Chains A and B, each alone.
Chain A
Amino acid sequence: MSGTKPDILWAPHQVDRFVVCDSELSLYHVESTVNSELKAGSLRLSEDSAATLLSINSDTPYMKCVAWYLNYDPECLLAVGQANGRVVLTSLGQDHNSKFKDLIGKEFVPKHARQCNTLAWNPLDSNWLAAGLDKHRADFSVLIWDICSKYTPDIVPMEKVRLSAGETETTLLVTKPLYELGQNDACLSLCWLPRDQKLLLAGMHRNLAIFDLRNTSQKMFVNTKAVQGVTVDPYFHDRVASFYEGQVAIWDLRKFEKPVLTLTEQPKPLTKVAWCPTRTGLLATLTRDSNIIRLYDMQHTPTPIGDETEPTIIERSVQPCDNYIASFAWHPTSQNRMIVVTSNRTMSDFTVFERISLAWSPITSLMWACGRHLYECTEEENDNSLEKDIATKMRLRALSRYGLDTEQVWRNHVLAGNEDPQLKSLWYTLHFMKQYTEDMDQKSPGNKGSLVYAGIKSIVKSSLGMVESSRHNWSGLDKQSDIQNLNEERILALQLCGWIKKGTDVDVGPFLNSLVQEGEWERAAAVALFNLDIRRAIQILNEGASSEKGDLNLNVVAMALSGYTDEKNSLWREMCSTLRLQLNNPYLCVMFAFLTSEAGSYDGVLYENKVAVRDRVAFACKFLSDTQLNRYIEKLTNEMKEAGNLEGILLTGLTKDGVDLMESYVDRTGDVQTASYCMLQGSPLDVLKDERVQYWIENYRNLLDAWRFWHKRAEFDIHRSKLDPSSKPLAQVFVSCNFCGKSISYSCSAVPHQGRGFSQYGVSGSPTKSKVTSCPGCRKPLPRCALCLINMGTPVSSCPGGTKSDEKVDLSKDKKLAQFNNWFTWCHNCRHGGHAGHMLSWFRDHAECPVSACTCKCMQLDTTGNLVPAETVQP
């Protein structure tokens, strides 16, 4: 800071102020600018803070070092060490009228003038100020002053009086220090040891010395070159850092012979080293001509007993600004905050960040630790569901019972949120497949049912007889087109595509009507056209144009359609085939492609990717010959498999091919939920046994568990065992009689040892009602419930005691719960138990087992037992 290089200091107590000193002292006030605009005249320190200049003090020339008074009052008292060795107390700000007024302007004068290198206030006795000076042959270099001392020497040298010319200046000169130390030596740095008020560590010329003011003749010292910038770790009072050239030495005062550690040498000499006051073991260092502050994170508390392990040091560097940094200062209280000043006096305020460790919770909230705070961040409620992550989507879908509607299968896509066209196609496909499988089973049991679930690809392959094509008349037009005669397989395919309804009726009318109702006029028109009914197509388009939500342009399209001519070289044909590519709606586009195509080549329709797969396949079934159709389906299937497009399930069905397709869908989206439900819907056993399918189901169950959707998971398991009987688990719990050792469900269920689940132990429906309280095997009584003391097997009666009875009403409201009340429950630890309902209400108020003299805390033994399933918490 010798004139050119500024230094910077935070006020020790007024934490929003700092001082920059070079040739003068400037006091700044820091303000947050998060909520306000930058005020005129203030300097920007960082993105969210700015500094305003409060006052400038240029009373003290030749400043060499500055130290801020550590006490609360007076606030802005600073000690300035000057080039001539004098130490001047000066103030910044307004408190001239305070009781400490007489302190300001006080000077402490050494006997011989030489440069003052360092100043240090005693942290415990706030009036003590230590000054370190350059060497003088006949004088001491460490002087400790008491700023309150009233002592003035008898003889005041004349020149000093002149220097401080003025009123009563003589009383402000102090020439007698409290202590004098280090004769004939130089002092480069000083710091008080927090261990004791009277211990002073000084970096002398070629040694570090600890002076004990209780006995000034004694000092402890160690020879070293690292004597600059001695500073004590505020968190670990025996740890001291000092530096020399480019090297930092860390000392342990308990083992003072040699440094415990030296940090890697920097190529340039260091200028400042400082411990972070808000964080243990963090040391910041600055070298000359650099824009980087290097931080050393000493993670290990050094022990005095020789530990052979090297302390771990994490080295980091921060670059707060682009210019060379002149000095820096840690903020005294704000965590890891630091202000730096560059040689041209630009300042910058920044925070050194700790490693942020983070973790996701299963419900998509992110938690991280930053500084001493934990932050939790949740996903914003966002209606734009396309942006939602699949994890959130799946969780919401699980809540809306997605996949569980096995009657109206197509409704599942509505449960999924009715937003994904692929899911819509998938569930409609599955719906049709289910419908026609049942249909076929009714007609000829055990025949082709499985074929339906095998997809159109297999259906088309299975068609044996050659299909004749025949010419059909366009309705309303004088034209004929080749159309394949529909055999049974093709009709089935068309049915799966949804074009025609159940039965032998080959009429697309109902389908068109439903499309029109849903407002899909373009699609309806295209389908009508593909069925050679151009009048109907035009009519649909008109309808669309006149409806509320419809597009008026549809009228124009209808007009264009009506101008259709069969003429090969007509203007209409030419214009349509070029202009159709500019149509936005793919269905309008394919309509013209169809009309302008040559007979037998429909690539414009078949390979228009924006048209739904089911419509393209249906079109292909209508117009392509067997070989063409097979080739087309094959090609499309591979395309779908590659892309993981769920519309392709229509082609592959729930076969191995379908699993392949689903695999690439899962790879792409991670949606195991859809994969699990879809595969359970109707896959043959060998497909269900596919490792991948099992793996998806397993993953989905784990997901439900992780979300605490235990009821959903149970529901899924029930659903699964309905559709895939092989996955039904065997009974895992048996209640056996104390006397004969046989399962008490022995006689209740038809199949012994494979009881049909726990609910069967409930007695309400037992045929031997009179003997419900005894073991069906040996007729001995069942154990008694610990609470009502009635033998198990009896239905739960209303409990005595007024308070309990309304709870009972609560429980019995739900029929299922009421049944559950009759179940056996017992503690695995103390073996006491009784009716589940009684136990539940007991443990609602008690921690200990209801059996007297048993101190088992049954309910707390299972930590997860106290958790509420997440579904019930969710709205």
Chain B
Amino acid sequence: VWDKSESGDWHCTASWKTHSGSVWRVTWAHPEFGQVLASCSFDRTAAVWEEIVGESNDKLRGQSHWVKRTTLVDSRTSVTDVKFAPKHMGLMLATCSADGIVRIYEAPDVMNLSQWSLQHEISCKLSCSCISWNPSSSRAHSPMIAVGSDDSSPNAMAKVQIFEYNENTRKYAKAETLMTVTDPVHDIAFAPNLGRSFHILAIATKDVRIFTLKPVRKELTSSGGPTKFELHIVAQFDNHNSQVWRVSWNITGTVLASSGDDGCVRLWKANYMDNWKCTGILKGNGSPVNGSSQQGNSNPSLGSNIPSLQNSLNGSSAGRKHS
């Protein structure tokens, strides 16, 4: 865990070894719930962590103290992703595992993070690799979760499924399957909704893809059934020329960053005509790729470069942001 000091420097304030396998992902809960992290690992567990302050003089040494609040052991296989639900849903956590099951947990008492009850189990039939909550807090949109699979078996099945919560049955039901995505999916991310009437979903597979999902107005659909969506693929880029590992949206959902096997980080942005294009390329070590300066003026500059002591193999180090 890295803290940013007031002068803008990052300091590693905590690092600990806990899982007995590779840690796949680490994710922050909304700060409303305190300083809470969740991690998931190959060791078939997911864990929830909370920072404790004031107990010892750790602060003086510039270290903070994190305690494990709970271990979620329901999965029989590697837990591949863990994500907190948007805060308006309360303190909820979704995990997905290699056996193809998405589990949704809820902490009914936000003051007691050691109590998590398993609320839902959704079977996806395919080994799951990544999940993403729809961050929309609009009442017009019911809770929704997208699941990607990295199943590499040759049968061309759709690798992205979207599940939606149904108020009547109180269950998650499949709302949509992206039939066009048949290659293993490594990461998936809904864009922050920011008041849009549609959702944007980025998918990292053998290329970067961006979909929009526009809910068909409720008045038109029969009430109670799953929401119908108009599905459009708005962009597809194979510039990485290899597998794409991660995608991430900025706070407004207007710039997408992707990283791929070519060791580059690319930025994608839509213009006013809704045409997406590349606005920046950076090599993994921060140096600009030759010729990318012509690509756009917003070629980002490198701010800082922190050698880290811990071996962040899967990129599971976590920077702290305060919001």
Contact = CB atoms under 8 A, between A and B. Distances in A.
Contacts of B255: 360, 364, 389, 391
Nearest to B51: A863
Interface string B233-247: 000000000010110
Interface in B225-262: 243, 245-246, 248-255, 257, 259-262
Interface residues of B, number: 77
A844 interface: no
Contacts of A695: 137-140, 195
B259 A705 contact: no
Contact of A691 (B140, B193, B198, B253): B140
Contact of B194 (A375, A672, A691, A867): A672
A361 interface: yes
Nearest to A379: B300
B248 A372 contact: no
Interface in A363-419: 364-380, 382, 384, 387-391, 394
Contact of B251 (A675, A706, A873): A706
Contacts of B53: 857, 860-861, 863
Interface string B273-301: 01000000010111000100000111111
Contact of A389 (B10, B137, B269, B303): B269
Given A355-B245, A359-B319, A669 B272 contact: yes
B222 interface: no
B296 to A, nearest CB: 7
Given A366-B300, A374-B308, A353 B194 contact: no
A576 interface: no
Contacts of B314: 355, 357
B59 interface: yes
A391 B262 CA distance: 28
Contacts of A699: 137, 193-195
Contacts of B260: 356
Contacts of A301: 21
Contacts of A370: 263, 284-286
A700 B137 CA distance: 12
Nearest to B315: A357
Nearest to B80: A312
Contact of B303 (A377, A388, A391, A708): A377
A703 B193 CA distance: 11
B306 A373 contact: yes
Interface stretch (A5-13, A237-245, A660-668): A660-668
A667 B300 CA distance: 26
Contacts of B140: 691, 695
A300 B301 contact: no
Contacts of B262: 353
B2 A670 contact: no
A390 B257 contact: no
Given A353-B262, A666-B196, A868 B257 contact: no
A661 to B, nearest CB: 12
Interface string A701-717: 00101111000000000
A705 B300 CA distance: 25
B309 to A, nearest CB: 8
A861 B262 CA distance: 45
Contacts of A360: 248-251, 255, 257
B42 interface: yes
A719 B21 CA distance: 52
A428 interface: no
Contacts of B250: 360, 364, 366, 389, 391
B50 to A, nearest CB: 10
B251 A374 contact: no
B166 interface: no
Contacts of A667: 196-198
B248 A358 contact: yes
B305 interface: yes
B273 to A, nearest CB: 9
A377 B248 CA distance: 14
A354 B299 contact: no
Contact of A362 (B194, B243, B285, B321): B321
B194 A670 contact: yes
Mostly, the B contact residues are loop
B308 A357 contact: no
B59 A860 contact: yes
A709 B115 CA distance: 33
Contacts of B195: 666, 670, 672, 675, 692, 695-696, 699-700
B62 to A, nearest CB: 14
B307 interface: yes
A864 interface: yes
B171 to A, nearest CB: 25
B81 to A, nearest CB: 12
A497 B32 CA distance: 46
B196 A374 contact: no
A582 B143 CA distance: 54
A708 B272 contact: no
Contacts of B155: none
Given A374-B10, A695-B137, A391 B251 contact: yes
Contacts of B31: 864
B223 interface: no
Contacts of B59: 847, 860
B118 to A, nearest CB: 22
Nearest to B250: A360
A847 B58 CA distance: 12
Contacts of B71: none
B311 interface: yes
Interface string B32-58: 001100000010100000010110000
B259 A358 contact: yes
B322 interface: yes
A355 B315 contact: yes
A312 to B, nearest CB: 6
A838 B69 CA distance: 36
B319 A377 contact: no
A669 B59 CA distance: 43
Contacts of A670: 194-196, 252-254
Interface in A844-875: 847, 857, 860-861, 863-864, 867-868, 873
A690 to B, nearest CB: 11
A806 interface: no
Interface in A268-298: 279-280
B322 A864 contact: yes
Given A391-B255, A706-B323, A299 B22 contact: yes
Contacts of A375: 284-286, 302, 304-306
Contacts of B44: 309
Contacts of B153: none
A818 B160 CA distance: 58
A371 B252 contact: no
A670 B254 CA distance: 8
B197 A663 contact: yes
Nearest to A696: B195
Nearest to B54: A857
B285 A371 contact: yes
B114 interface: no
A382 B315 contact: no
B77 interface: yes
Nearest to B316: A357
Interface string B183-198: 0000000000111111
A126 B4 CA distance: 47
Contact of A868 (B6, B298, B305, B313): B6
A468 interface: no
A316 B261 CA distance: 9
Given A364-B250, A370-B286, A375-B306, 10 more contacts: A356-B246, A356-B263, A357-B315, A359-B248, A370-B285, A374-B312, A670-B195, A700-B195, A708-B322, A847-B59
3 tightest CB-CB pairs across the interface, nearest first? A357-B315, A353-B263, A857-B54
8 contacts: A312-B22, A356-B246, A357-B315, A370-B284, A382-B297, A698-B137, A708-B322, A857-B54
